[in-house]
Structure 1
Amino acid sequence: MSSWKKAAKANQKTHKERHQLESRKHLGLLEKKKDYKKRADDYHEKGETLKLLRKRALDKNPDEFYFHMINSRVKDGEHHELQKEDESTKEQVKLMQTQDIKYINMKRIIESRRITRLQSQLHMSDVSDATPNTHTFFVDEGEEKDFDLAKRLDTHPDLIGRKSNRPRLSTLKKMNMPEIDEQTAEQMKKKKEKLYKELSKRIEREKDLTVVQQKMELKRHLQDVKVMKPKRVQRGSKQSAPVYQFQYMRKK
């Protein structure tokens, strides 16, 4: 750069944008060119959008059908989505219509305690024995044929299939086992099966009561919403309550 250009640049005056006059200070900050540019671009963008929407409305066929018409309605000039009702069993609907949350919660706690008592009584030994399990034993070559599993576990051959309550032979010798005939054993088996059926029914009952309680609590929360209705993310079913996404509200 030549010395003449440097001198010209050094003597160049710096122009500053004027500020708002004192007499017009009540009107706010004085709009600068960059502010006007943003406002103008926004105005033209909205104008182009309205022009495009107007063209689409003119080109639309009033007799045209599309499937979303079934799930939407226009009410008072506003578009609303029609949400499908949550699925519920007859027993769930009856409980929600006739009982309150406190009663449902009390019945659910009672069922939960009965389930715990039945599980502790049955020990779930039959269920654990039915679950497949593997136990690997390592033997030397040539000993596979002579390998005796009952001898290795030190128990009776009839008790090999058990996972729990599998005593050793030394323990069996010390135990005084009562003599039980076939009729008594069949009665005990039927009694145990009856208890398992009752346990299964109570578990299903406790699940239904939990779903009913969740649906009723959610319905109460939806009634308390005053600012903005939450968005439903997942539809409710017979096995689960619906899922809503609530607007984040900052607490003071």
Structure 2
Amino acid sequence: IIIKIHYCEPALKFKMSTWKKAHKSIQNLHKERHQPEARQHLGLLEKKKDYKRRATAANTNRNILSKLKRRALNKNPDEFYYHMINSKTEDGVHHEKPVENVRTPDQIKLIHTKDLKYLNMRKKMEDRKIDKLKGNLHLLEAVGKPSNSHVYFVDSKKEVENFDLANHLQTHPALISRQYNRPRLEDLEKMNLPEDNTIVEKTSKNYLQGYTELARRLERRNKIRVTERKLEIRKLLADKKQSKPKKVKTEKRDRAPVYVWQYERKR
């Protein structure tokens, strides 16, 4: 008897996870029953997820209460902390004791006075630096500069029509708008003007930096003025001898509050 055995490879190889996914497509859908009609007045029927949420919350609360009870039993009645000096317990709730003001009204006034003196000193320093910058820059492009006028008198109307201001001032037409350092043509011929544009660009850059610094210092002086005014108002409000003022405008970042005091006749 001759027996022949042949090996045949499987056509497809499936993994176990593939069969599990395929099995899910044919399994029955699990449905939870709803509340019977006779018990509709009791509301919706509690599902398993609702029970799990309620059970988890109950177990968490039970564990917290057991820890607190254990901590209360293990507590030493003679236990002391330095924080107990500045706190007290009312109806089982901890409260901080109010801290007394360690500064007297006279000391507060003195502190405000020193702050005002310092701000006044800083404002004067900024004013001096601003005046120095204005003198160096001449504020050529300043907004709101005064419109100066100069009147020239001639003998006839014909001269008015043919009047040439650059020829009259003996200067270049591009320099007419300058109010300072307006050289004449003969002076321009004697000058050694820079032919390199780098020198002109460097000068323009220096002027731009000067105007930027001037704008920054003007803004800083304005902030110092607002802070000084706020301190003055606070100092006046701290004075208990005066009557209570009426608030007209609220305090803002760029403005101090406005109060109106009742007029009192001086004896």
Q: What TM-score do you get using the length of structure 1 for normalisation?
A: 0.50
- Answer with 1 or 2: which has the greater Rg: 2
Measured in 1, the distance between the counterparts of 2:143 and 2:184 equals: 19
Which residue pairs with 2:226 in the alignment?
Answer: 211
Which residue pairs with 2:253 in the alignment?
Answer: 238
One-letter identity of the residue aligned with 1:213: E
Alpha-carbon deviation of 1:209?
Answer: 0.7
Q: Is structure 2 residue 130 aligned with structure 1 residue 115?
A: yes
Measured in 1, the distance between the counterparts of 2:149 and 2:194 equals: 33
One-letter identity of the residue aligned with 2:127: S
Which residue pairs with 1:193 in the alignment?
Answer: 208
Q: Is structure 2 residue 227 aligned with structure 1 residue 183?
A: no
Measured in 1, the distance between the counterparts of 2:227 and 2:237 equals: 15
Alpha-carbon deviation of 1:119?
Answer: 1.4
Q: Is structure 2 residue 164 aligned with structure 1 residue 148?
A: yes
Alpha-carbon deviation of 1:165?
Answer: 2.1
Structure 1's 103 and 181: CA in aligned 2 closer, same or farther, altered over 3 A?
same
Gapped regions of structure 2 (runs ≥ 5): 1-113
Structure 1's 155 and 224: CA in aligned 2 closer, same or farther, altered over 3 A?
same
One-letter identity of the residue aligned with 1:165: N
Structure 1's 182 and 244: CA in aligned 2 closer, same or farther, altered over 3 A?
same
One-letter identity of the residue aligned with 2:241: K
How many residue pairs match? The answer is: 153
Structure 1's 123 and 229: CA in aligned 2 closer, same or farther, altered over 3 A?
same
Structure 1's 209 and 141: CA in aligned 2 closer, same or farther, altered over 3 A?
same
Q: Percent identity between the aligned chains?
A: 39
Deviations 1:21-57 (A, max 9, x none): xxxxxxxxxxxxxxxxxxxxxxxxxxxxxxxxxxxxx
Helix, strand or coil at the partner of 1:125: coil
Structure 1's 129 and 105: CA in aligned 2 closer, same or farther, altered over 3 A?
closer
One-letter identity of the residue aligned with 1:225: K
Helix, strand or coil at the partner of 1:240: coil
Helix, strand or coil at the partner of 2:142: helix
Alpha-carbon deviation of 1:105?
Answer: 2.9
Structure 1's 235 and 198: CA in aligned 2 closer, same or farther, altered over 3 A?
same
Deviations 1:142-172 (A, max 9, x none): 4566432211222222211222222334554
Which residue pairs with 1:89 in the alignment?
Answer: none
Helix, strand or coil at the partner of 1:233: strand
Equivalent residue runs for 1:1-252 within 5 Å: 100-127=115-142, 140-143=156-159, 146-172=162-188, 176-251=191-266
One-letter identity of the residue aligned with 2:135: S
Measured in 1, the distance between the counterparts of 2:246 and 2:144 equals: 47
Alpha-carbon deviation of 1:220?
Answer: 1.1
Contact 1:231 1:245 in 2 (8 A): yes
Identify which of structures 1 and 2 has the higher relative contact order when contacts are C-alpha pairs closer than 8 Å and 6+ apart.
1
Measured in 2, the distance between the counterparts of 1:169 and 1:141 equals: 27
**Once structures 1 and 2 are overlaid, which stretch shifts more, 113-122 or 139-148?**
139-148
Measured in 2, the distance between the counterparts of 1:227 and 1:210 equals: 24
Gapped regions of structure 1 (runs ≥ 5): 1-98
Superposition RMSD on alpha carbons, in Å?
3.2
Q: What TM-score do you get using the length of structure 2 for normalisation?
A: 0.48
**Once structures 1 and 2 are overlaid, which stretch shifts more, 159-168 or 133-142?**
133-142
